[in-house]
Structure 1
Amino acid sequence: MSDIVVGVGASHSTLMNTHWDKVVHTGRAERFRDALGEARDAVAAAEPDIAIIIGSNHFRGFWLDMIPPFTLGVGEVLGAGEAKTPKGPQRTDQEFARSLAQQLIEAGTEVAISARLQIDHGQTHAIQYLLSGLEIPVVPLVINVFAAPLPRLDRCVQLGRNIADAVRAIGGDRKVAVLASGGLSHQLPWPADWRDPHGDDEEFLVEAWLNGRGDWERYDQRRREIITAARPVLFPEFDERFLADLEKGELARYGTFTSEDLEKLAGNGGQELRTWLTMAAALDFAPGRNLAYSPMPEWLTGMGVGVIEPAGVS
């Protein structure tokens, strides 16, 4: 029987890779970076055989021509490589991934599958920092958090619980890490609803999201110009409360929120917290450790790192 041995939640931002020289709050930035290293060490100490990475995709692997609520990479996994993140083929365990997909279907979560999945910094940021120097194969699980209608948060909680059951049902006695990438609070300069863009920038973004398959790099420079020109909007009080609830093992209550509730409290980028809820549910909402919280307006994001270790795992 396989089992989950550690869970990690960590914010991501490509601006961390490309805009370090723009940082004013250097101490906050270093605290977050150091916490990523501490989380990486917690993963290494648990000695997992495989890592399930739950993250989002910022329209570099999925486009508006088709975006399932949940997609599991069961074959080739390719990093998009934007903004100095890992590029090209990633180490995988296709046998485990396909068994996981089958078990999730049996448990009642109808995940889509991809035999050639392109992931972006919504997943590769975790590979770059949380798995640095570790030769661990990955199984990416992509949650749609940007193209409405979004999966309900309680469905993400159920997905996490089903991941735990599915892992236990898979033979081979593997140890599994579950890594969540995304959040915390932030507001992206994207259309409030892709179906109703306003202004040239929003119309450009919707065009890129619809037509980017096989050609996403053509749109990327202007996309990044729109992002880097955005006014930072963070919600530190929400972020600190969320991380305090992680420490108390009380993240399950966020499963009752609607998408509208979450956006009001944490911005449209806060929808990525579905990844943390899914991870925490897979760890049965055990109390965790808040390793760092750094509100980083230079990266447009409240940056946090937390670790959950099941009972018996030090």
Structure 2
Amino acid sequence: MSQVVLGVGASHSTLMNTHWDEVADLPDAIAFREGLEEAAALVAEARPDAVVIIGSNHFRGFFLDLMPAVTIGVAECVGAGESGTPGGPLPVDTALARSLVDSLLENEFDAAFSLRLQVDHGITHSLQYLVPGLDVPIVPVVLNMFAPPLPTLRRCHRLGEQIGRAVAGDGAGKRVVVIASGGLSHRLPWPKWFETFSDDDRFLVEAWLNGRTSWKEYEVRRRQIIRAAEADINPDFDRRFLDLLATGGLAEIVGYDNDRVEAEAGNGGQEIRSWVTMAAAVGPAEGRTLAYAPIPQWLTGMGVAALVPGGNR
């Protein structure tokens, strides 16, 4: 049977690609990159045959004309390539992806699947830094974390448990690393699609609804709106979340509703769903935080953590 041999969580921010020079001398930014490098070394040491990567989509692959809660890429997968992230075809472990979809359905967990999936930095940023060279096939799992209604954290935890069981039930004998991409606390200047108050709000909702064939046309103004935002980071929440992750105490966070997550961690903090899903997929584990730094220049509390299966948590 196959087995999960490592779990990694890592924050993402395309500003790390496009505006690194602004923070290159800051200890926090350096520490975060060193944490990513340590995590990448752990991934390499785990010798994975496949990587399941769980992340979000920032309206460059999914749009408001169709927004599944959970989608698994089972065949062709293409990186959007925005802001210096990997673009073009990505290698997919189709056999493992199909096994995962089948197992979820057999256990009454409905997930969408795609034979032609476009992903953005919600998937590719972690691949860029944690799996250099993209020489390991992936199974992309995209969660809706930005377009209400969102799947609950409890639902995401159950999804992770089912992913772990599906991997264990796969008879191919593969070593699988599970990566969570996104978070931690941050607030993006993004409206809820049903509450638009400004010209920027209306522009963004139009981009999210109509961008399926023209998302690049909206990129310049989208980027300007994000760059104009003020940082809203909650280091206390982030550190507590990382501590709970390392000690297996996420039951408290899993009980949060969406409003509480947003109140404490911002609308971007909803991306902790990927971490919760990853942790549940790994199961009992020894965890540790590799890096944490609130980096206002990137608008985000940036963390890296690793979970090694084992223990009694």
Q: TM-score range by the shorter chain?
A: over 0.9
The SS at the match of 1:6 is strand
Mapped to 2, the partners of 1:229 and 1:296 lie a distance apart of 15
The SS at the match of 2:164 is helix
Equivalent residue pairs, number: 311
> How much does 1:287 deviate?
3.5
Mapped to 1, the partners of 2:222 and 2:263 lie a distance apart of 24
Mapped to 1, the partners of 2:284 and 2:236 lie a distance apart of 21
Aligned to 1:94: 94
What residue ranges of structure 2 are gaps of 5+ in the alignment? none
Cα distance per residue 1:257-307 (max 9 Å; x no partner): 100111111000000000000000111152411001010000000000000
What residue ranges of structure 1 are gaps of 5+ in the alignment? none
8 A Cα contact 1:251 1:285, kept in partner: no
Mapped to 2, the partners of 1:85 and 1:24 lie a distance apart of 19
Mapped to 2, the partners of 1:161 and 1:269 lie a distance apart of 24
Aligned to 1:149: 149
Cα distance per residue 1:51-72 (max 9 Å; x no partner): 0000000000000000100000
State the one-letter code of the partner of 2:279.
A
Mapped to 1, the partners of 2:241 and 2:284 lie a distance apart of 13
> How much does 1:254 deviate?
1.4
Aligned to 2:107: 107
State the one-letter code of the partner of 2:188.
L
State the one-letter code of the partner of 1:115.
L
8 A Cα contact 1:232 1:301, kept in partner: yes
8 A Cα contact 1:294 1:303, kept in partner: yes
Say yes or no: does 1:173 pair with 2:179: no
Mapped to 1, the partners of 2:86 and 2:251 lie a distance apart of 32
Cα distance per residue 1:112-154 (max 9 Å; x no partner): 0010000000000011001014611011000000000000110
Aligned to 2:224: 225
Cα distance per residue 1:188-226 (max 9 Å; x no partner): 0001x2112110000000000000001100000100000
Q: Do the aligned partners of residues 110 and 237 (structure 1) sit closer, same or farther apart at CA in structure 2, a change above 3 Å counting?
A: same
8 A Cα contact 1:252 1:277, kept in partner: no
The SS at the match of 2:9 is strand
Alignment of 1:274-313 (within 5 A): 274-311=273-310
- Tell me which moved more, 127-136 or 161-170: 127-136
Mapped to 1, the partners of 2:304 and 2:251 lie a distance apart of 18
> How much does 1:108 deviate?
2.3
> How much does 1:2 deviate?
0.6
Alignment of 1:1-314 (within 5 A): 1-23=1-23, 26-133=26-133, 135-191=135-191, 193-311=192-310
8 A Cα contact 2:284 2:310, kept in partner: no
> How much does 1:25 deviate?
6.5
> How much does 1:252 deviate?
2.8
> How much does 1:244 deviate?
1.0
TM-score, normalising length from structure 1?
0.97
Mapped to 2, the partners of 1:255 and 1:105 lie a distance apart of 23
Q: CA RMSD in A?
A: 1.1
Q: Do the aligned partners of residues 197 and 25 (structure 1) sit closer, same or farther apart at CA in structure 2, a change above 3 Å counting?
A: farther
Mapped to 1, the partners of 2:92 and 2:286 lie a distance apart of 30
Mapped to 2, the partners of 1:128 and 1:222 lie a distance apart of 25
Mapped to 2, the partners of 1:85 and 1:167 lie a distance apart of 28
Cα distance per residue 1:68-108 (max 9 Å; x no partner): 00000011000000000000000111121111110111122
8 A Cα contact 2:154 2:255, kept in partner: yes
TM-score, normalising length from structure 2?
0.97
Mapped to 2, the partners of 1:287 and 1:150 lie a distance apart of 29
Q: Do the aligned partners of residues 17 and 32 (structure 1) sit closer, same or farther apart at CA in structure 2, a change above 3 Å counting?
A: same
Mapped to 2, the partners of 1:196 and 1:6 lie a distance apart of 40
> How much does 1:24 deviate?
7.6
The SS at the match of 1:309 is strand
8 A Cα contact 1:57 1:121, kept in partner: yes
8 A Cα contact 2:91 2:134, kept in partner: no
Counting aligned pairs with the same residue, the percent is: 56
8 A Cα contact 2:52 2:179, kept in partner: yes
> How much does 1:255 deviate?
1.2
Q: Do the aligned partners of residues 171 and 197 (structure 1) sit closer, same or farther apart at CA in structure 2, a change above 3 Å counting?
A: same
Mapped to 2, the partners of 1:243 and 1:81 lie a distance apart of 29
Q: Do the aligned partners of residues 81 and 24 (structure 1) sit closer, same or farther apart at CA in structure 2, a change above 3 Å counting?
A: closer
8 A Cα contact 2:261 2:269, kept in partner: yes
